[in-house]
């Protein structure tokens, strides 16, 4: 079996695994809703449940979207490049942003309500990493424009 055949099999299994991912995501969100409604405001469990909901909602939509370009790619449909190119939008919103929000909620779950110092550290950490990310793309833009030549 050569690399290309293996790649196609893996690509197909990725498509096949989309169904269980979508079904399981939907079930997890469904199971989370009731405990979320009845949970105490500001409690650890509430933050974890928010994190789970955001994370799984993002993954549900993201996986649902990518099913289309991957399917189109396998079938060799002409719409494939357009669908793949459009994918940056659901990537940013549902994969990156909602996962980051989910991670933030999970971290809030581990910080006691009265520990403002730790909370401030977390928030500053988030801001610093956002600034780092913006710095990274600024560097890439400068490289692309040939400013470092």
Partner 1 sequence: MVYEILRTLTQLQSLALTAPLIALCVVVVWEVLKPTRNLVKKKKLTVNEHRLKWVFIGILVGFIGKIIESAWWAIPWTLDYLQIDKDGWKKIHGVGVFFNLIFRQLFFTISAYCYLRAFIAPEKEDSGLRNVHWIFGMSLILGQLYLIALIAIRSPLE
Interface residue list for partner 1 (CB under 8 A): 7, 10-25, 27-28, 31-32, 35, 48, 51-52, 55-56, 59, 63, 71, 74-76, 85-86, 88-89, 91-92, 96-97, 99-100, 103-104, 106-107, 110, 125-126, 129-130, 132-134, 136-137, 140-141, 143-144
Decide: 71 and 15 in contact? Cβ < 8 Å: yes
Decide: 47 and 109 in contact? Cβ < 8 Å: yes
Cα 17 from chain centroid?
17
Comparison of 23 and 79: residue with beta carbon closer to partner 1: 23
Minimum distance from residue 41 beta carbon to partner 1 (Å):
19
DSSP reduced 3-state for 136: helix
Comparison of 115 and 134: residue with beta carbon closer to partner 1: 134
Minimum distance from residue 31 beta carbon to partner 1 (Å):
4
Decide: 11 and 70 in contact? Cβ < 8 Å: yes
Minimum distance from residue 94 beta carbon to partner 1 (Å):
11
* Distances in whole angstroms, Cα of residue 108 to Cα of each of 26, 55, 99, 127: 24, 14, 14, 15
């Amino acid at each position: 079996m050569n690399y290309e055949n293996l790649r196609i099999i893996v690509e197909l299994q990725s498509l096949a695994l989309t169904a269980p991912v979508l079904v399981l995501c939907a079930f997890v969100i469904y199971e989370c809703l009731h405990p979320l409604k009845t949970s105490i405001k500001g409690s650890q469990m509430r933050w974890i449940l928010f994190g789970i909901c955001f994370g799984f909602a993002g993954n549900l939509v993201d996986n649902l979207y990518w099913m289309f370009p991957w399917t189109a790619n396998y079938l060799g449909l002409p719409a494939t490049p357009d669908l793949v190119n459009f994918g940056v939008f659901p990537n940013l919103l549902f994969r990156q942003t909602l996962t980051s929000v989910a991670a933030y909620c999970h971290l809030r779950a581990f910080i006691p309500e009265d520990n403002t110092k730790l909370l401030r550290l977390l928030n500053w950490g988030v801001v610093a990493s956002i600034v780092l990310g913006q710095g990274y793309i600024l560097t890439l833009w400068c490289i692309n424009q040939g400013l470092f030549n």
